[in-house]
Structure 1
Amino acid sequence: MDIFKKQESNVRFYANNFPVVFSSAKGCWLKTKNGASYIDFLAGAGSLNYGHNNSILKKALIDYINSDGVAHSLDMLTEAKAAFLTALRNHILVPRELDYKVQFTGPTGTNAVEAAMKLARKVTGHTNIVTFTNGFHGCTYGALAASGNQHHRGGSGIPLTGISRLPFEGYAGIDGLALFKTMLNDNSSGLDKPAAVLLETLQGEGGLNVASNKWLQHLSKICKDNDILMIVDDIQAGCGRTGTFFSFEPSSIKPDMVILSKSIGGYGLPMAVVLLKPELDEWSPGEHNGTFRGNNHAFVTATKAIENYWSNDEFAKHIIERGQQVRTVIERALQRFPSLFIRAKGRGMMQGIECHGNDFASAIVRNCFEKGMIIETAGPKDEVIKFFCPLTISESELEQGLHIFEYSAECVSQVLTRKAS
């Protein structure tokens, strides 16, 4: 541990909550150099939807490396990139009747957000972008301006501009879309004509707030009626996390742009893309670039993940079943521990439970870690315990993790009872 304390910046975060040294990982399990095992309900913050060292993806990657396949290619043409684009088109876009071109950005989600925002401004000639309360889009300046979290915004060092923020669905009981529509039609509202709206349909870091299908459809219509682009940030909620490959599928909307990162690479390898309607592709060559936008190792594992898990609906059914397993335990916990919990949040395998304050949430998370589980919190006050295990987790493994959560909640509840008496 000494080398980390002496050499690594204080900016590290997760290690503060899980102060052990990990040496290996497989599926939904992490192991320390001392042989202790932890079930992983964090999954690389959504980067490991297919688990640690997925055997199918690992074989494809090893075979590719052993054949001296191109590793780094900037944006040059490679067989690995062609295979990914083909798999994405055939197994993801065409079955969903989506017509998108693919922009490979720098390998982080925040870079893809920056690219989408830049393109929206370039295409429309407008500079303002509408985002929503509790949204989180990354920590570079443009993406950070679009984010609501004050902890992250506080690190900027400069004013964050170019954004107008509206209430997300359910925020403080305010009808944000009625407000949006009224302001767009009022020349004295002070709202500059937006180039785009940028949103997560299911807010990950913001507390697992879910936009209803009706709300998304209404927002989509407002955008169409006013020539405003709609950009869905599916970095965390996409790639199957909610039960469908894209989080917005149940609403039947078709965003103008979709941003993917995290698990799009399959194996946890860095990769990010912007999916954009063909008529929006007004970039000049090299106008938005990045040295590592040609990570062919990620193309290989991304292709294999799509071909293996999304060529039929079996994996989606598995996600729905495991999501129901999580929801059953959450509902039981709400009944058993009303002094700890308020309500269920999220959907699919992106669910959580809201606590009566972050003290309860952090106490349960600490207790879970002591019992062998990695789990984190979300929300503006870290008051939501977030169940975020790999989508490939088995029924029995998920049961083990959920049992640890229930046991930890019971321990915290007993402490509360003793204090009250």
Structure 2
Amino acid sequence: MTTVTTGDKSIYTRRESEARSYCRAFDTVFTKASGSILTDAEGNDYIDFLAGCSSLNYGHNDPDMKAALIEHISRDGVTHGLDMHTDAKSAFLRAYENTILRPRRMDHKVMMTGPTGTNAVEAAIKLARKITGRRNVIAFTNAFHGMTLGALALTGNSGKRDGAGGTSLNDVTHLPFDGAMGEGVDTLEHIEWMLSNPSSGVDAPAAFIVEPVQGEGGLNAASKEWMQGIARIAKEQGALLIIDDIQAGCGRTGTYFSTEDFGIDPDMITQAKSFSGMGLPFAALLIKPELDVWKPAEHNGTFRGNNHAFVTARVALEKFWKDKSFEKDVQRKSELLGARLKSIADHIPGATLKGRGMMQGIDVGSGDLAGDICATCFENGLIIETSGAHDEVVKVLCPLTISDELLEKGLDILAGAVAKHTNNTQIAAE
């Protein structure tokens, strides 16, 4: 039997690809996780303000999900079933129908895709092009939709796009997101002009794809009015509206879907990250029934039938979404988070509060400063990352189930790190 020394990190540099990233910022070996706490090989505890980049909205190893999964495995429940009918899939679909779709008067079909968010995005744009017969897709500045080539074409970040190695990333037009052109500039007017002008060079779009809150793009949160404008323009253009709710969904903004209060009716919605409830690979595309024109096996994925994820996803729905109590608690914590972050931001010259719900952060104006703040946080027991075009936003994505005590403790660590790197002791004292 091979002896594994968890504290020895040489195996990673020796054998793991240079593509690894998070481990460079959080350079320790984690051995245990529970709730909102990660523990490393030396026994150090870290408050988790990253939560698997919003894949762990319900925290690490939720006891009810864990018990259900252990029971399923112990009775030799189906692990992998392609898209065959299984008891686990049936139970999940019924729970999703009863807790999410019917209460919101949604009749969308659930298309199981490959296991990650980028698979759901690929399916969405492929279907939009199939339905409309058009190739062009409208995406937005600062967007991030995934790393496979179709999704990467929709992504704005040059660093991510450079990974394509010269491969053409085409059939996409990037237009300005809400507020992207500065205060006082109505980007909807710009978008309407580009699409209505026959000499703009923009081809008729098959779809608009938009993140209501741009997680990787810097926590840019679109307004209700802007989202309604995009929905209207898409309809006028004969294009489909795709909401990318991979990071902002599953309760992250205070409601299950990030657009519930916006009065829009998306044609498709992508789901992934916290969709499984427990961090297991699981992604899907919600499609209006009349748009579900796929032929059998016209789009598929070997791991679209992750029955372990069906089990934990069902428990998450039944535990957290059977009534409004969890949603209300997330909204309460969102107010607490926003107030604390604003008090910190007010002491940093030029800093601004970004985001919405439990997906908020501080734009400190500099990627170097944000990186230093996050590094100091890690030294003091807090895992937190940056986002934005220049990594200038310190971004909070803690589990939605985090206790008030741990949330406050994590924010105290953040305030102390900001105070250290801005020479402002008043921040840490508040």
TM-score by length of 2: 0.95
| 1:289 corresponding residue in structure 2 | 300
Rounded Cα–Cα distance in structure 2 between residues aligned with 1:273 and 1:177: 29
Q: Are 2:187 and 1:176 aligned? A: yes
| 1:196 corresponding residue in structure 2 | 207
Rounded Cα–Cα distance in structure 2 between residues aligned with 1:401 and 1:325: 13
* Contact residue 27 and residue 393 of structure 1 kept, 8 A: yes
| 1:117 corresponding residue in structure 2 | 125
One-letter amino acid of the structure 2 residue matched with residue 405 of structure 1: L
Encode CA deviations 1:72-110: one digit per residue, 9 max, x unaligned: 000101111111111111110111111100100000100
Rounded Cα–Cα distance in structure 2 between residues aligned with 1:223 and 1:216: 11
Q: Are 2:352 and 1:343 aligned? A: yes
Name which of structure 1's ranges 351-360 and 131-140 shifts more when overlaid on structure 2.
Answer: 351-360
One-letter amino acid of the structure 2 residue matched with residue 18 of structure 1: F
| 2:256 corresponding residue in structure 1 | 245
Rounded Cα–Cα distance in structure 1 between residues aligned with 2:90 and 2:254: 27
* Contact residue 135 and residue 206 of structure 1 kept, 8 A: yes
* Contact residue 98 and residue 254 of structure 1 kept, 8 A: no
SS of 2:371's equivalent in the other structure is: helix
Rounded Cα–Cα distance in structure 1 between residues aligned with 2:86 and 2:348: 56
Q: Are 2:361 and 1:352 aligned? A: yes
Rounded Cα–Cα distance in structure 1 between residues aligned with 2:71 and 2:413: 38
Rounded Cα–Cα distance in structure 2 between residues aligned with 1:308 and 1:334: 35
How much does 1:159 deviate? Answer: 1.6
Rounded Cα–Cα distance in structure 1 between residues aligned with 2:299 and 2:199: 35
Rounded Cα–Cα distance in structure 1 between residues aligned with 2:237 and 2:152: 26
* Contact residue 181 and residue 187 of structure 2 kept, 8 A: no
Sequence identity (%): 51
Rounded Cα–Cα distance in structure 1 between residues aligned with 2:86 and 2:341: 46
Rounded Cα–Cα distance in structure 2 between residues aligned with 1:359 and 1:196: 37
Task: Report 1:249-398 matches (<5 A).
Answer: 249-335=260-346, 337-339=347-349, 342-398=351-407
One-letter amino acid of the structure 2 residue matched with residue 372 of structure 1: G
Q: Are 2:162 and 1:145 aligned? A: no
- Paired residue for 2:77, among 69, 73, 87? 69
| 1:161 corresponding residue in structure 2 | 170
* Contact residue 245 and residue 269 of structure 2 kept, 8 A: yes
Rounded Cα–Cα distance in structure 2 between residues aligned with 1:343 and 1:333: 10
SS of 2:128's equivalent in the other structure is: helix
One-letter amino acid of the structure 1 residue matched with residue 343 of structure 2: R
* Contact residue 167 and residue 175 of structure 1 kept, 8 A: no
**Shift >3 Å, 4+ stretches:** none
Rounded Cα–Cα distance in structure 2 between residues aligned with 1:102 and 1:146: 23
| 2:242 corresponding residue in structure 1 | 231
One-letter amino acid of the structure 2 residue matched with residue 385 of structure 1: V
Encode CA deviations 1:188-244: one digit per residue, 9 max, x unaligned: 221111000001000000000011001111111111222110000000000000000
Rounded Cα–Cα distance in structure 2 between residues aligned with 1:185 and 1:374: 46
Rounded Cα–Cα distance in structure 2 between residues aligned with 1:351 and 1:112: 25
How much does 1:67 deviate? Answer: 1.6
Rounded Cα–Cα distance in structure 1 between residues aligned with 2:42 and 2:402: 24
One-letter amino acid of the structure 1 residue matched with residue 366 of structure 2: G
Gaps of 5+ in 2: 1-8
One-letter amino acid of the structure 1 residue matched with residue 414 of structure 2: F
The alignment yields a C-alpha RMSD, in angstroms, of: 1.3
Encode CA deviations 1:292-339: one digit per residue, 9 max, x unaligned: 00000000100110111001011111111111111111111122x223
SS of 2:134's equivalent in the other structure is: coil
How much does 1:392 deviate? Answer: 0.5
| 2:6 corresponding residue in structure 1 | none
Rounded Cα–Cα distance in structure 2 between residues aligned with 1:67 and 1:314: 33
- Paired residue for 1:33, among 11, 25, 41? 41
Aligned length: 415
Rounded Cα–Cα distance in structure 1 between residues aligned with 2:181 and 2:265: 28
How much does 1:415 deviate? Answer: 8.4
* Contact residue 45 and residue 236 of structure 1 kept, 8 A: yes
SS of 1:172's equivalent in the other structure is: coil
Rounded Cα–Cα distance in structure 2 between residues aligned with 1:416 and 1:2: 39
Gaps of 5+ in 1: none
